[in-house]
Structure 1
C-alpha cells in the first residue's frame, strides 16, 4: 500500500514531474542542442549584418546574405535525406547524431573561418560562400535535432519537456548570439567574437558524441529501416506500378521546387547587384507554389494512395520476392511518398483541421516580428538602448520564464489545455500593443499600480519615463509567446510519426514559417493605410481563430484517446505515433 501511495505521489504532475524530467541526461543534451540550433540562426541572420555594416559593405552586396534565410524557410526540401540517408563514416554515431554532430562541428569551423576572413566588398565572395554553407549546415542540424527530440522522448524525459527545454536553449542562444554578441564585439572585435562562438559550437559538437540516439538504420522502436521497404512486397500493399506512378508525380513536383530555389540562388550570386532578384519577392511569389508542389498536391496523391490501400484496390494479392519490391525506386518512394501517405492515412480529414491550426497558431508572431522595430523606434520613438533593454534583455528573460511556466502547465494540465491557453493569451497581448499605439495610458497605469515602473526605473536609469510601459508590454507578450511556444512545439512534435519525424516535422514547421513571410506585404500596406491600432485589432482576431481551432483539435485528440482506450484528458502519455 505504501509503495502504491509513493508511486502515486511520484507520478503526480506538476513541478515535481518537471524537475525529474530536467534531471534526465536527455534534457541536458536537449538544452545543448537547442543552444546549438539558435546560435547560428542569430549569428547568420542578425549579428552578421552588424559586422557587415561596420565593415562598410554595400547594401546591394549585403542583400545577397538574405539568401541565408531561404535555407531555413525551405529546409523541408532536403529533409528526406535526413530520414533516409546514412553518412558513410558517421553512421555509427546514431540515426540522428550522424547528421547533428558533423553539422555542429562544420558550423564551428565555418564560424572560425569567418573570423579569419575579411568582409570587405572586394573579398565578400569567399565570406558569403562560407556564410551560405553555414546556413545550410544550420538548417540541416535543425531538421535532425527536431527529429532527435521526437525519437528519444520517453516517460521521464517527455516530449513536452524536451520541447520546452529545446526552446529555452534556443532563446538563450538568441540572446548570446544577438545582444550579447554585439556587446562582446564592441569590446574585443568581430573576428574574436565569431572565433569565440565557433569554439562554443565545436565544444557542443564534441559533447554531442555522448548523447543517446537510436542506431543508424533503425527506427526509435528498434525496427530496421529496410524492413519498411521489405514490407512493400507483402500482400495488401500497393502494387509497384501504382507506387511508381505516384513517385514519378511527387518526384517531378519536388524536382521543380528544388530547381526553382537553386535557380534563384544562382541568379542572386552570379548576377550584378542591380539585376539580382529580391528574396522577399521570391518568397511571396514562388513560396505558395513551392508549398503547393511539395505539400498540397503530394498530400492529395498520398490521400488517394491511402484510400486505395484501405479499400483493397490496386494492391498485391500475394507476397512478392523481396528483390522485386526493394528497388532504387522504392528507396525514393520510402523517402518522398511514404511519410505523406502515413501522415494523411493516419489523420484522414483531421488533416484539414491540423493544417489550419499550423497556419494560424503562430501567424501573429511571424508577421508582427518584421514590424516590431519600426513600431518601437519610429511610431513610439524609443531609443535603440531602450528597445534593446526591453526586447533583448528583459524580453528574452520573459520568454524563457514563459517557456518554463508553459512546461509546468503542460505537466499539470496537459498539452492541449496549455496549447489553447497559449493561443488565447498570445492573441490578447495584441490588445496591449493596441493600447500602446494610442498612447499607452492603460499600460502605464497598470505598470505604475503594481510597482513595475519603479522597478524598471531602478534597474535601468538610462531610459525615459515611457520605458516602463514598453517593457511591461513586451514582458506580457513574451510570457505569452513562451507559454504558447512550449505547447505548440510539443503538439507539433506529438502529431508526427517517429518513423518519418524528420520529413513530417520539417514540412509542418516550414508551413508555420512561410505563412508569416507571405502575410507581411499585406500587413505592411495595412499599417500604411490604417495605422498600427487597426493592425493589432486584426491580429487579435486572427489569434481568436487559432483559439477556436485549438478547441476543435482538443476535442479531436480527446476523442481519439477515448476511442483508443486511453483514459486521460490529454494524450501526452500516448506515443507520438
Structure 2
C-alpha cells in the first residue's frame, strides 16, 4: 500500500463508513432469512412463510418517497443526519415490539411490525446513500464503498448467524431484543458525525424532487431494457434465496445453530468474493465481469440441488453455502458497478433508490411462487428451476453488451465527474 493510499484509508470520512454500513445492513436479515427461520420454528406453513416475503416491499418501492427525504429538512441535526436519527430510533423501537409480540400473538400484527421495520430500513438506506455520496471525495469513493460493504456484511453476520445462535440458546425474543440494542451503535455514530459540507440544497419543490431524476433516466436510450437487466440479473439468486433457510431447516433438518455457524462462514465467503470480483473487474471490464460472475452465480444454485440429492451432509451444506456466497459476492461487486454506472451524479440519491428498488423486485415477489413450486415438485426440481431463472438475465446482458460496455468505460474514464448516462 503506497503512502497516498494509506492517507486515504486513515481519513475520518472512511472510518465513518464502517459503523454506518453496519447500521444499514443490520435490519435486512431481520425481515428476511432470520425472520423466515423464526416463522419456520414457530410452525407456520410454507405458504404463510412465503407470503411474509412481501414485507420486503418497501425495499422495492423506496424510490416513491426518496424525493420526500430530499425535499424535507428535519428541524434537528441537519438534512441527512436528521433523517438518520429518525429511522434508527424507529428501527430500535419496532424491533423491540417484534421481540415482545412474536408470531404466536397473531400473524397479522407481527407482519405489520415486520413491514414497519422494512419501511424504516429502506428509508435509512435512502438517506445513508445520499450521505455517503455527499461526504466522500471522488478519490475516496472506492475505498469508502469497500468499507461500507465490510460494515454491512458484519451486520448481516450479526443479524443472521449471531441472531440464530442466540435464538437457539435464549429464544427468539431475546435474539430480536439483542438486535434492537445493537441499533445504539448507529445512533451514537449519527450523533457524532458531521453534516456533509458538500450537501446540495434541498429541491425547491416536490415536483422538482420527483420528476427531475425520473425524467432524466427515462429519457435515455434503452432505459427500459436496462431496467429489465437490473430486475433479471440476480433473479435466479433471489428465487433460490426465497426459501433457502426453510430448505436447510425443514428440508434437510439442520438446526438453527448449524445454519448460524455456516452462515458466518458464508459471510466471509461473500466478502472474499466481493474482493475477488473487484480485483478482476479492471482486467475483465464491466460487461465480461457481469457475464462471468453471473454464470458462476447461476451455477451456485445447482450446489443446493446437489445437497437435496445428497441428503443431510454438513460438508455438502458448507460447500453449497460457501460457493453460493462466494459467487454472490463476485456478482454483487459487478452489479453495484453496473448500478453506479447508470446513475447521473446530479441525481444519485433518487436514481440509486430507483434502481435498487427495481432490483429488489426479485426478492419480494418470489416467496409465494417458490413455496408453491416446492409443494408441487420438491426441493431438487425447485433449485434446478432457480438455475434456469438466472439465464434470461444473462441473455439480456448479452443483448445489451454494447451499452453496458460503453457505460462502464465512460465511468472508468471519468471517475468523480458528472457522468451523463
TM-score using structure 1 length: 0.61
Q: 1:259-296, CA deviations, whole angstroms, 9 ceiling, x for partnerless residues? A: xxxxxxxxxxxxxxxxxxxxxxxxxxxxxxxxxxxxxx
Q: Which residue of 2 aligns with 1:178?
A: 160
Q: 1:458-496, CA deviations, whole angstroms, 9 ceiling, x for partnerless residues? A: xxxxxx6x3223322332221111011122123313422
**Residues 58 and 121 from structure 1, CA distance in 2 versus in 1: closer, same or farther, beyond 3 angstroms?**
farther
Q: Which residue of 2 aligns with 1:450?
A: none
Equivalent positions of 1:429-444 (< 5 A) are 429-433=300-304
* 2:354 equivalent to 1:483: no
Q: Which residue of 2 aligns with 1:206?
A: 188
Q: Distance in 2 between matches of 1:536 and 1:50?
A: 21
Q: 1:136-171, CA deviations, whole angstroms, 9 ceiling, x for partnerless residues? A: 22221011112323333423322x443343333223
Q: Which residue of 1 aligns with 2:233?
A: 361
Q: Distance in 1 between matches of 2:9 and 2:151?
A: 13
Q: Which residue of 2 aligns with 1:140?
A: 123
Q: Which residue of 2 aligns with 1:538?
A: 388
- What is the RMSD of the two structures over their aligned residues, measured on CA atoms? 4.0
Q: CA deviation at 1:398?
A: 0.9
Q: Which residue of 2 aligns with 1:427?
A: 298
**Residues 213 and 362 from structure 1, CA distance in 2 versus in 1: closer, same or farther, beyond 3 angstroms?**
farther
Q: Which residue of 1 aligns with 2:83?
A: 99
Q: CA deviation at 1:367?
A: 1.3
Equivalent positions of 1:52-451 (< 5 A) are 68-91=55-78, 95-112=79-96, 117-119=100-102, 131-158=114-141, 160-214=142-196, 218-219=199-200, 224-225=201-202, 229=204, 331-345=205-219, 348-373=220-245, 375-376=247-248, 381=252, 383-384=254-255, 388=259, 391-410=262-281, 418-433=289-304
**Residues 410 and 559 from structure 1, CA distance in 2 versus in 1: closer, same or farther, beyond 3 angstroms?**
closer
**Residues 571 and 554 from structure 1, CA distance in 2 versus in 1: closer, same or farther, beyond 3 angstroms?**
farther
TM-score using structure 2 length: 0.80
Flag structure 2 segments of 5+ consecutive residues without an equivalent: none
Q: Distance in 1 between matches of 2:49 and 2:303?
A: 35
Flag structure 1 segments of 5+ consecutive residues without an equivalent: 1-5, 12-16, 230-330, 441-463, 562-567
* Structure number with bigger Rg: 1
**Residues 481 and 20 from structure 1, CA distance in 2 versus in 1: closer, same or farther, beyond 3 angstroms?**
farther
**Residues 50 and 556 from structure 1, CA distance in 2 versus in 1: closer, same or farther, beyond 3 angstroms?**
closer
Q: CA deviation at 1:369?
A: 0.9
Q: Distance in 2 between matches of 1:129 and 1:148?
A: 29
Q: 1:49-91, CA deviations, whole angstroms, 9 ceiling, x for partnerless residues? A: 6667778899999999666323333222211111211112342
Q: Which residue of 1 aligns with 2:321?
A: 474
Q: Which residue of 2 aligns with 1:564?
A: none
Q: Is the 8 A contact 2:24 2:121 kept in 1?
A: yes
Q: Distance in 2 between matches of 1:473 and 1:53?
A: 21
**Residues 207 and 384 from structure 1, CA distance in 2 versus in 1: closer, same or farther, beyond 3 angstroms?**
same
Q: Is the 8 A contact 1:118 1:124 kept in 2?
A: no
* 2:347 equivalent to 1:497: no
Q: Distance in 2 between matches of 1:413 and 1:483?
A: 13
Question: Which sits farther off after the overlay, 25-34 or 136-145?
Answer: 25-34
Q: CA deviation at 1:526?
A: 6.2
Q: Distance in 2 between matches of 1:20 and 1:343?
A: 36
Q: Which residue of 1 aligns with 2:401?
A: 551
Q: CA deviation at 1:112?
A: 4.3
Q: Is the 8 A contact 1:390 1:471 kept in 2?
A: no
Q: Is the 8 A contact 1:426 1:543 kept in 2?
A: no
Q: Is the 8 A contact 2:71 2:209 kept in 1?
A: yes
